[in-house]
Amino acid sequence: MVKNQIKTVVLLALLTALLLWIGSFWGNQGIIIGLAFALIINFGSYFFSDKIVLRMYGAKEVKRENAPELYDIVKEVSQYANIPMPKVYIIHKQNPNAFATGRNPKHAAIACTTGILDLLSKDELKGVVAHELAHIKNRDILIATIAATIAGVISYVAMIARWGAMFGGFGRDRNNGNIIQFVVLAIITPIIAMIIQFAISRSREYLADETGSKFIHNSAPLAKALEKLETGAKYHPMKGGNNATASLFIVNPFKGSSLFTLFSTHPATAERIKRLKSMKIYT
């Protein structure tokens, strides 16, 4: 757990350093404008993204009388995690999946598809719920927002650089130094920022796997669930929705996955299972 926390801090520091490095040769004005722009967008996302994504997938809030098994599992694991019980939602989709959202433990929600409820056993579902509540406990929405803000500023400045190049913003004397500067700033830097942002997402998935397993003192249910979910998601890819929300789900809900790990929002499922099986609480 400590290793993944340290990795997140290091990656966020790298993103920040990348932003400061850009500012060193682009000028403070562009950075300030980009930062303000990104903060406004991500401030709104932080406070309202839960409502937006739940509505996007047609999630319906349920009480105990509507879904007693799921409701009781969420309540039980919330007590283990020592956090307020989040609101419980069901999404009527065949794709077997789940996600948690909300800016903090007091304003959180967990959503499960009908596909995952049909596919998993009670213990496996408990493992998935524990994983999602770990995201809430670890405040991963906040961390993702910070990463998105910094990466957003970098992308904004890169966009300015590209427009500047189109209208002669890199000067009349287009020597090799200017060309290299343009390529690094406008093309390479935003790619690096995206890679770091995705690495943070993968790191938080590993951490949620570990934290959630510790909530229920057993890593086997989640490992078994992930095996089923990986196969189920391929046979029943999510219809509708948006690829930009893929990182929210416990496994990528859309057909196919990135050919390159660097550009994947989720760690390889096989590696996640391997780590879960190596935990001392795998029984």
Please give the positions annotated as active site: 132
Nearest-angstrom CA–CA distance, 212 and 208:
6
CA distances from 230 to 153, 235, 268 (A): 34, 9, 10
CA-nearest of 217, 201, 197 to 250 is: 201
Burial track 104-118 (b if 16+ CB lie within 10 A, e otherwise): ebeebbbbbbebbbe
Nearest-angstrom CA–CA distance, 68 and 109:
17
Nearest-angstrom CA–CA distance, 151 and 128:
29
Apex 39 CA angle, 194 and 100, nearest 5: 65
Structure tokens at 191: 């790619």
| Dihedral (CA of 191, 46, 138, 273) sign | negative
Nearest-angstrom CA–CA distance, 61 and 51:
12
Structure tokens at 235: 């046979």
